[in-house]
Structure 1
Amino acid sequence: MKSSLALPTLLLAVATSPAWGQETRTVIQAENVRFAYAQVLQVTPVYQTLNATAVEERCDPVEEGAQEGSRLQRVVGRVRDALGGQDEAGGAAAAEDCRMVPVEREFRRPIAYDVDYDYKGLKFRSRLPDDPGNRLRIRIGVTPVVTEGSTQ
């Protein structure tokens, strides 16, 4: 029984090892990075627009000589005056025509900034979460391009 277990183990070892005659090589390259400052040329805010609807009470004062439509309001106003109704200003309560009205509102808020900047005569544009001011700290990384079969 020992010989029947040795063959699958040998096949597993051959299947998981690199191909015969090939050498596996891993190159770890330290990243070539430095930091510098670029001159900011222009900052343009990017806005998000939100629309909201709120319901507000709108009241219009009723004129004393109003026609048929406000007869009930005049009666209610006179009863209120007879009972001594006072408004917040201390005078007699004025008759008003009040109703609930939907009001559309638009809100704009900056969500990002498009920043144009110059570094060594080259112009770049990036979208950033904050306004950087006059100078922008940038990261410069240099990595060589390696192509297959190049001997240079």
Structure 2
Amino acid sequence: MRRLLLPALLLAASAAPALAQETVIPRQNIRTGYAQVLRVEPVFQTLTATRMEQQCNGKVVPPNDPPRGLSRIVGAVKDALTPSADGESVEEAAPAPADCELVPVQREFRRPIAYDVDYVYKGMKYRSRLPYDPGNRLRVRVSVTPFVPDSGR
């Protein structure tokens, strides 16, 4: 009997400090509500891209991009049914004009990366920067904590 009682007492003694150290986390005073959006202003990022384009006689010639999707299939069938006399496709046989050169053309692109949002909640106006456009209503998190003044200061 003693052999069974001693391990049980050791187990109970080692578990007692663990039970005493358990911390209780109080539930926070947090809830959600909805605010009325007054204004949304997008914040843009400007990107610059350079592309080489063919320029002939001082005019930029649009690039001859390869066709995609269904037009690619139709073009392949058309080329297979109507080959030129020497077996090359019609597009490859056309010579390029002699007075053409490749020139760099810069283009700017603007894309929204954030939104500055002005909104009203319970009569108070606020402003936040969000990663999305919230629309007419904005869901807000409301947290209430008591004010505890510094003692002795």
Deviation at 1:96, TM superposition (A): 5.1
Alignment map for 1:22-101 (pairs within 5 Å): 28-60=25-57, 95=97, 97-101=99-103
Larger radius of gyration: 1
Structure 1 CA distance for aligned equivalents of residues 53 and 136 of structure 2:
44
Tell me, which stretches of 5 or more residues in structure 1 are unaligned?
1-25, 62-86
**Equivalent residues of 1:60, 1:96 under 8 A apart:** no
Structure 2 CA distance for aligned equivalents of residues 114 and 142 of structure 1:
25
Distance 1:98 1:124, change over 3 A: same
Moved over 6 A (4+): none
Deviation at 1:144, TM superposition (A): 1.1
Deviation at 1:148, TM superposition (A): 3.8
Encode CA deviations 1:58-99: one digit per residue, 9 max, x unaligned: 1129xxxxxxxxxxxxxxxxxxxxxxxxx86xxx97955201
Which residue number corresponds to residue 147 of structure 2?
Answer: 145
Q: Which amino acid aligns with 2:114?
A: A
Q: Normalising by the residue count of structure 2, what TM-score does the alignment of the two structures yield?
A: 0.56
Tell me, which stretches of 5 or more residues in structure 2 are unaligned?
1-22, 59-89
Structure 2 CA distance for aligned equivalents of residues 100 and 120 of structure 1:
61
Structure 2 CA distance for aligned equivalents of residues 94 and 33 of structure 1:
71
- Tell me the C-alpha RMSD between the 2 structures: 2.8
Matched residues, number: 98
Q: Which amino acid aligns with 2:105?
A: V
Deviation at 1:103, TM superposition (A): 0.5
**Equivalent residues of 1:59, 1:99 under 8 A apart:** yes
Deviation at 1:137, TM superposition (A): 0.4
Q: Which amino acid aligns with 1:129?
A: P
Q: Which amino acid aligns with 1:123?
A: K
Structure 2 CA distance for aligned equivalents of residues 140 and 114 of structure 1:
20
